[in-house]
Amino acid sequence: MIVINQIRDNIEAIRKTIPDGVEILAAAKTRTSEEVKAAMEAGISLFGHNYVQEAEEMIHGLDVKAEWHMIGHLQRNKAGQAVELFDMIESVDSLRLAKELEKRCGQIGKVMPVLIELNSGREENKTGVLPENCVDLAGYLNTCTHLKLKGLMTMGPLTGDPEFSRPYYKETRRLYEEIANIAMDNVEMKVLSMGMSNSYRVAIDEGANLVRLGTIIFGSRVA
Domains of the chain by residue range: 2-217
Percent of the chain with pLDDT over 70: 98
Residues paired with 204 in a beta bridge = none
- Write out pLDDT tens, residues 120-162: 999 998 999 999 999 999 999 999 999 999 999 999 888 889 9
Half-sphere exposure of residue 143, counting CA atoms within 13 Å on the CB side? 9
Rounded to 5 degrees, φ, ψ at 37 are: -65, -35
Residue 8: count of CB within 10 angstroms of its CB: 16
CATH of domain 2-217: 3.20.20.10
The full 3-state SS of 56-100, as one line of letters, equals HHHHHHCCCCCEEEECCCCCHHHHHHHHHHCCEEEEECCHHHHHH
In the chain, the percentage of residues whose pLDDT exceeds 90 is 92
Alpha-carbon Rg for the chain in angstroms: 17
Note the pLDDT of residue 1. 55
> Which band of pLDDT confidence, cut at 50, 70 and 90, is reported for residue 223?
very low
